Amino acid sequence: MPRSRGAEKALESSGGGGGGGAGSDPGTWGDHGAAGPRSPGRRRAGGRAASRPPPASPSRGRARRPGSGSGQSPASDFQSRRPPLAELCGRGVLASAGCGLGGAGQARPEAEAGPPPPLPSARRRGGGGGGGGRGRGAAMSLLSRILPAFRVHYAGVLVILSQLYQRCRYGFSLPAFSSQHGSVAIVTGGLCGIGFSTAKHLAKLGMHVIIAGNDERQGQEAVKQIKEETLTSKDNENFYRLNVCGNPASMEFLFCDLASMKSIRQFVKEFKKKNYPLHVLINNAGIMMVPQRKTVDGFEEHFGVNYLGHFLLTNLLLDILKKTGCPNHNARVITVSSGTHYVGELNMDDLQSRHCYSPCGAYAQSKLALVLFSYQLQQLLAAEGSHVTANVVDPGVVNTALYKHVFWLTKLVKSFTYWFLFKTPDEGAITSIYAAVAPELEGVGGCYLYHEEIIKSSDVTYDEDLQRRLWAESCKMVGIPNMIDKVIST
């Protein structure tokens, strides 16, 4: 299997851990200079990661930056400092919270895929056997909805504790990056929350940012607000420089409804009319734990919006990304996933959750699918020799509007604790911004980033057969050619 340039060296320098990682969200390029000040005691990724995710490894250390010298490897150094909870998340132990139903974070085996076998008939006792069977079936159906909710909330608690440690030990601060003047970025879901903060900070670095969203009025308001905030920034000289369009660095909004394949194709058509390059694509938009409903194309909404919409959007923009990327300045595809992917299940025979719907289970499945997609995309790009990289980021547990559909008790707890336990949208956007512009990630792909560190994602995300099966099925769903088998040698 092909690897990106310098892959082996990066893996050695990272202590054997390199690509993939875990975190949670319950919910680029100008000239790259050296990254600015970092939080004390923290390391950044350096070198190049493998074009495909490396095998499962307990190491969560960063790859050593070129030129650094120390007798101790970064991985072992970080292992000696990290808290037990961070180690728990980094090793993917969240997957052990399966509690049945195929196991958390595991794809269902073929033999178990699809509807479960009929329950055995209960012994007849006074003619009541049939009712007992129906009762057992109802109990199993209820259990299949409760367990995914337990897993997702369990994962959320672990991540909250992890980021609480991070806040107390290091704090959350955006490093100082060099000007990204001349670069163009697309951010989906930039109307509010993490996407809004991501778009705002990229604009402050001098990028021309295009917000893709499904509300025209709210989109124009977001653009106006970001322009006002950026123009009034006293120390923001980057915003006054000219971008590729010959105008002052600016924001713009383009309508894109990720629940509609037609809308996505129209968005790409409108973007291509502008003849812009594309240095950064940030797949940020998403929904969380909504009631069971379908997109206009008939897909389950979590799967359709969170995953399938971004799958189509990315594939339709790949030609521009490939043209924009160059050897010393790769284009980057950043996909926002979540720590809930650790407890997600991917049932290839029921991707639309028709058999037994759980809002938490459907959300976790969509986030798991995003990680599998990103890893397979990196393999495709590396096999083609393209100057484009694909990485996954985990923003953590962030205080956004995504929680309007969660369980009432979760809302109640959040209302009293969000100010301390949850990240702000600006804090949640830090890892996305880091992945988009950090010079040490130049040419690095196939990684899972959490708190600006390369960590290990769930074991199932490294299943290359599952990656290909999901990719092939997704191509059929959105109606595009499958290039994987033609490009990647087996």
Contact (Cβ atoms closer than 8 angstroms) between residue 273 and residue 210: no
Structure tokens at 150: 């337990």
Q: Which residues contact 412 (CB under 8 A, 6 or more apart)?
A: none
Strands (E), 109-179: none
Is 363 one of the annotated active-site residues of the chain?
Answer: yes
Cα–Cα distances in angstroms (integers) from residue 173 to residues 22, 44, 318, in the given order: 20, 14, 32
- Residue 397 CA to residue 25 CA, distance in Å, equals 4
Which of 326, 438, 390 has its CA nearest to residue 62? Answer: 438
The packing angle between helices 359-384 and 129-169, to 10°, is 60
Report, in angstroms and rounded to the nearest whole number, the Rg of the chain calculated over CA atoms: 22
- Residue 317 CA to residue 274 CA, distance in Å, equals 13
Active-site residue identified among 357, 363, 434, 462: 363
Query: Which DSSP helix (H) or strand (E) runs through 317?
Result: helix 309-324
Query: Which DSSP helix (H) or strand (E) runs through 448?
Result: strand 448-450
In the DSSP assignment, the letter for residue 453 is E
Residues taking part in catalysis = 363
